[in-house]
Structure 1
Amino acid sequence: MNALNIELNKKSLTQALSNKFNAVVCDVEFSSEVLQGGTVGDVSKLFGQAKIQGETTAQPFELVVKTQKQWDRSGDPQCWRREYEIYHSGLVAKLPQELKLPQCYLLEESTDTTRIWMAYVDGLTGNKALNVAELADAAYQLGVFQAKYHLQGEMNLPYIRSYPAVRSSFDLWWGYTEALLSKPIEGFPEALRAILNNYGMHSKDLLGSFDVLPRTLCQGDVHHDNLIFNKSLGETSIYLIDWDSAGYGFMGEDAVDLLMEAFIYSDRDPALLPEYRHKIIEAYCRGVRTQGFNGQGIKIKGFDFYMSETLIRELFVLSWGFRIVDRYVYHEDAAEKRRCLEILEMMLKEEG
């Protein structure tokens, strides 16, 4: 970090800490640690001692600054501003509290950059720490959260992606793989290729059939690195971070994403997939059904909610199936190619 950036960060950090402590911070000593870095943004943890005006003892602190540069995700050019707008608009305070977002202390923006200064949340996270029990707990709370949002939340916010992710995912990855699947692929079973091509041919009807599902706010990237299980005062709160993919989508989209992220981007044994699938999907549907009655005990239309094996397969194929084909074709590691085939075979297995 160069001297100019240190001074700019120190000025902003002082303001963020003043907001955090609800007091005037007159000086600060800090160090930084990169939590996530990339070409379009980075996330850093800042920690140290804050000197508060009128106090003799400095206060220790930890917080996170997330810097997001302008970039254009395919079909979603405003994604880089979305998390900033979620905080800036005050939406965070209106969201159901089954899943939490870190508290925000300061927001900054320029023409091509947003910056969020927020609380550092410690806890269990990542595929090494979160196994099926924790992911099922997260799925249950996600179901409650999304059912409540469906019933009470605003559905026309301009900074939230307006279309279901399953549609854009299909368009993107079918576009990459349609030509590949039109002819035999080395090492790729012909039976799988035929099944995937059949889904591709009937995709318009399948996507149309999803319109009967309740719509809600979807986070769009529910995976183990974005979930934090924070234990404090004997209670566990589940935080869901990184909302740049958030959009209005179908109930069940995020549940399938949670399941697939647990295997596609980890080294979990694919043999565990049936257990994870059953527990995650069952917990999610159970969470949704908690909102199935109003105060008079009258069932609300759409909340006798469950995900049939057919629906799970269809959401999986259109959101993930063709993405996995692309991963199979272009990945050089033989073991990873085998994982791709195993996941496809397990998820496409017919009932009974």
Structure 2
Amino acid sequence: MNIKFETLIYALSRRFKKDIISADCQTMPLQGGTVGNVYLVTGIAETADGEKMPYRIVLKIQKKWERYGDPGSWRREYDLYASDFGATFSDAFRWPTCYHAEINAEENEFQLWLEYIDGVTGLDLTGNMYEQAALELGRYQGKLYAEQPAVLQSLTNLSHADLMKNTYLHYRSWPVVYDYIRSDDCEFLQHVRQMLIDIDEHADEILSRIEKLPLVLCHRDFWVTNLIYADGKIALIDWDTSGWGYLGEDLASLIADEADIDHMVEYYQRCVPAYYKGFSEYADVSPIADHCVYELILLVFGYRLVEWYLHTEDDDEKTKLVHTLQKIYEMKTSPAQGRL
């Protein structure tokens, strides 16, 4: 892992708002894959007047790759940080501060030097934290929907409103998952199979209802691993799928993506009203009797859960995925599905 000394010094000078003249560093992978890697960089920085300060900073290196239906997503986070998009956030709901961003067009790669936020994330989030995340998301989307700041119109690299629909239709046209839930070999209980089949049979009508909902700026990967709760506030990382989507679309991810299965129905019941409460502080949503979050969960995650089930050899993982589908079924009759 080769870090340019000059770049590190520049990022740390921005981080501390002081003239940093030297620093040592150690790197530790936070997460990574074939197309991007994230590192925690730590060490001691020294100022021009001899002050020594320990630091933690995040380095994200992203290479070009093609996401289905969204070819510009690989560089979207760089484009957003290079724009005035950061001005849309509040103290209570924001992304990590970026101290330095650079892109290498020849190598199709960019680097972001980001604030390290130490907080609660993933399945350590509590029900109250889920609810606050839903409330703040609603406020954020409601404010942007009501105010339509000029920066939103200036952003050219955002995912399109039909991405969710096209991804669902792509899955539905895939025989591996479509045929499985209709086959004699399917190991799911009949009511779970029927839940997925019913969505397919009523998809046109459901999508028509969803497309009447307000169009809002969505994160589109609003799941627990991308949420950090710190000091009573919400920070959100990984903006590469963000773009235009429908009211409630991000809630589907919060509730169903790598879910806290034991509390899934409870969080659904709590988060949907909290989200609408936040949104309605800025925009009127009273005419919307049917919020469609249950349908969005099935459209976004139904076939994806089937795919994961078919492609894992781990029996515990299979059981977990079956339980997730069962919990989604139980949401259908839960209180949050009624009029808000």
Q: TM-score, length-normalised on structure 2?
A: 0.88
Comparing 214-223 with 58-67, greater Cα deviation is found at 58-67
Cα distance between partner residues in 2 of 1:282 and 1:240 = 21
Alignment match of 2:171 (pick from 170, 173, 182) = 173
Alignment match of 1:146 (pick from 119, 141, 144) = 141
Question: How far apart are residue 117 of structure 1 and its match?
Answer: 0.7
- Cα pair distance change 1:322/1:26, threshold 3 Å: same
Q: Quick check: 1:335 aligned with 2:329?
A: no
The percent identity for this pair of structures is 29
Which residue is 1:296 aligned to?
Answer: none
Cα RMSD (Å) of the superposition? 2.1
Comparing 69-78 with 282-291, greater Cα deviation is found at 282-291
Cα distance between partner residues in 1 of 2:91 and 2:50 = 37
Which residue is 2:54 aligned to?
Answer: 60
Q: State whether residues 38 and 59 of structure 2, in contact with CA within 8 Å, keep that contact through their aligned partners in structure 1.
A: yes
Kindly provide the CA deviation profile for residues 281-315 of structure 1, in whole angstroms up to 9, marking residues without a partner as x: 121122112224xxxxxxx4xx2276747x23311
User: Structure 2 matches for 1:204-215, cutoff 5 A?
Assistant: 204-215=204-215
Q: TM-score, length-normalised on structure 1?
A: 0.86
Which residue is 1:40 aligned to?
Answer: 35
Alignment match of 2:114 (pick from 102, 115, 118) = 118
Which residue is 1:161 aligned to?
Answer: 159
Q: Which amino acid aligns with 1:279?
A: R
Count of aligned positions: 326
Cα distance between partner residues in 1 of 2:157 and 2:224 = 25
Comparing 55-64 with 130-139, greater Cα deviation is found at 55-64
Q: Quick check: 1:277 aligned with 2:259?
A: no
Cα distance between partner residues in 1 of 2:327 and 2:122 = 23
Question: How far apart are residue 59 of structure 1 and its match?
Answer: 2.5
Which residue is 2:337 aligned to?
Answer: none
Question: How far apart are residue 228 of structure 1 and its match?
Answer: 1.0
Question: How far apart are residue 273 of structure 1 and its match?
Answer: 2.2
Which residue is 2:183 aligned to?
Answer: 183
Secondary structure in 2 aligned to 1:117?
A: strand
Cα distance between partner residues in 2 of 1:97 and 1:305 = 30
Q: State whether residues 97 and 145 of structure 1, in contact with CA within 8 Å, keep that contact through their aligned partners in structure 2.
A: no
Comparing 199-208 with 221-230, greater Cα deviation is found at 199-208
Secondary structure in 1 aligned to 2:238?
A: coil
Cα distance between partner residues in 2 of 1:276 and 1:252 = 14
Kindly provide the CA deviation profile for residues 193-227 of structure 1, in whole angstroms up to 9, marking residues without a partner as x: 23322322332332122111011110011111111
Kindly provide the CA deviation profile for residues 34-77 of structure 1, in whole angstroms up to 9, marking residues without a partner as x: 11121111111112122222x02222222111111100111111
Secondary structure in 2 aligned to 1:259?
A: helix
- Cα pair distance change 1:253/1:290, threshold 3 Å: same
Q: State whether residues 95 and 149 of structure 1, in contact with CA within 8 Å, keep that contact through their aligned partners in structure 2.
A: no
Question: How far apart are residue 97 of structure 1 and its match?
Answer: 4.5
Displacement over 6 Å in runs of 4+ = none
Which residue is 2:338 aligned to?
Answer: none
Secondary structure in 1 aligned to 2:120?
A: coil
Secondary structure in 2 aligned to 1:73?
A: coil
Question: How far apart are residue 316 of structure 1 and its match?
Answer: 1.5
Structure 1: 5+ residue stretches without partners? 293-299
Cα distance between partner residues in 2 of 1:283 and 1:187 = 36
